[in-house]
Amino acid sequence: MKHDTFEISHTSRLTPHILGLVRKISSRKFSSPIVVGCFLFFLLFIGFLFIGVAVAAGPAREAPAGFDNLTNGYVSQGVYDSARAIFEQPETVATGLGPIYNGESCVECHRNPISGGNSLKSVLRAGHEDPATGLFVPAPGGTLMHVHAINPAIDLRTPDSENIRSTRKATSILGDGFVEAIDDATLLAIARNEPEISNGRIAGVAVMVPVAEAGNILRVGRFGWKSQHASVVSFSADAYINEEGITNRYFPTENTALGKSVAEYDSVTDPEDERRSDGFSHVDRFVDFIRATKVPARDEKIAATPEARAGERLFEQIGCSTCHVTSITTAPAGTKIDGGRFTVPEALGDKVIHPYSDFLLHTLGTGDGVPVQSGGQTTANKMRTAPLWGLRTRPELMHDGTSPTPERAILRHSGEAQSVIAEFHKLSSQEKTELLTFLSSL
């Protein structure tokens, strides 16, 4: 609406002037063909100018999409390339790797089909149930287990007693700058709307999680299989310490191996990720890279087929899109987010994205039993609606990667999704093919 108003008000103010000029042109004084030609060219130029201004000032535009290693405009291509190089750079014992870790570089687990994407690399979380209270208790030293150590004396085996185990595949970080730029209020409004449009059957939970760089102020979680983080800085700093063992200014203390200190094997002074000669730490670089990635692009050829279009309509009609939300608009440029530590820039603000997720937690019958740290015990068996953008690049589906095809993933949905899945079963085989064709375009 705003967009239309903008265009109309500007055009109407100029209309009398243009009409005046046209009248002059049609008078004999300006009748030379060259003058008329120049004037028409001028009119065309003004027209394009208006369209350009209207588009630039319009309230919301599509976020740039592509698997092309090009910046979305948040930083220059040069900064993007050098930040991506840090994301891809392996750590060594000399730079602080370990003493316990899961990978040497970010790209090791985020690479499909370009740096930042998904992978079949997984991490294990573990804990057990307190027999007296029935509540979840994390394994000693935290739920995240580690599979590599820099010294053979370090015991990496998860004891039998930690019998609640969750294997989670690496998610994609592509387009996460736009996801971060979604206002809390937008996600809360989606949460309020869900029971209304589903006769009370679906009610996603917005889990409040700490923002590490803003004194642990709470924000609506959106990243990871359990929406366990809300800011790109927090997730990156967390991944650096937890997956690679690199202490940093947000997480300055080394992990323990199942509660036992491994400090004696670490010869690098903490925090290991300091500001480098250029003034930036590696966490700063990961953040630049992640925020500057484009959103996953669709397969335009498949998307344009009549089958995919019909499938898209079915996806909405039978209620998949109640959780897998089709379109979300990011907060306007200038909005302060992440506890005031980040101001949404032009490149990320006012953008329409198609993540096919509400970023909320749901009971789907696939819960892994591990609560979100700050979310309380009721989140133990809830999972975040998996964003379906980039779906075609994931070789194995669902958090545990045990569903080999989208159809098998759909058939695992129960709990809150039960009535939607009942509708899926009622589709004719032709309609099922259409729905799956749509999914294959994502």
Catalog residues that contact ligand HEC under the rule CB under 6 A: 102-103, 106, 108-110, 121-123, 168-171, 173, 176, 202, 223-225, 235-236, 239-240, 243-244, 286, 290, 318-320, 322-324, 362, 364, 366, 383, 385-386, 388, 391, 394, 397-399, 406, 409-410, 413, 416-417, 420, 424, 439
Question: Among residues 225 and 266, whose Cβ is nearest to ligand HEC?
Answer: 225
CB 133 → ligand HEC: shortest distance, Å? Answer: 25
Question: Among residues 191 and 397, whose Cβ is nearest to ligand HEC?
Answer: 397
Distance CA 414, CA 154 (A): 41
CB 399 → ligand HEC: shortest distance, Å? Answer: 4
CB 96 → ligand HEC: shortest distance, Å? Answer: 12
Question: Among residues 173 and 292, whose Cβ is nearest to ligand HEC?
Answer: 173
Question: Among residues 106 and 139, whose Cβ is nearest to ligand HEC?
Answer: 106
Torsion of CA 77, 80, 82, 88, to 10 degrees: -140
CB 350 → ligand HEC: shortest distance, Å? Answer: 21
Question: Among residues 58 and 415, whose Cβ is nearest to ligand HEC?
Answer: 415
Q: Give 81's contacts (C-beta < 8 A, 6+ positions apart).
A: 69
Question: Among residues 7 and 270, whose Cβ is nearest to ligand HEC?
Answer: 270
What is the Cα Rg of the chain in Å? 26
CB 369 → ligand HEC: shortest distance, Å? Answer: 12
At residue 114, φ and ψ (nearest 5 deg) are -135, 170
CB 388 → ligand HEC: shortest distance, Å? Answer: 6
Question: Among residues 6 and 136, whose Cβ is nearest to ligand HEC?
Answer: 136
CB 81 → ligand HEC: shortest distance, Å? Answer: 17
Question: Among residues 173 and 212, whose Cβ is nearest to ligand HEC?
Answer: 173
> What residues form DSSP beta bridges with 101?
148
CB 280 → ligand HEC: shortest distance, Å? Answer: 14
Question: Among residues 58 and 87, whose Cβ is nearest to ligand HEC?
Answer: 87
CB 272 → ligand HEC: shortest distance, Å? Answer: 12
**Strand-strand pairing, 382-384 and 217-220:** unpaired
Q: What single-letter amino acid sits at 275? A: R
Distance CA 48, CA 50 (A): 5
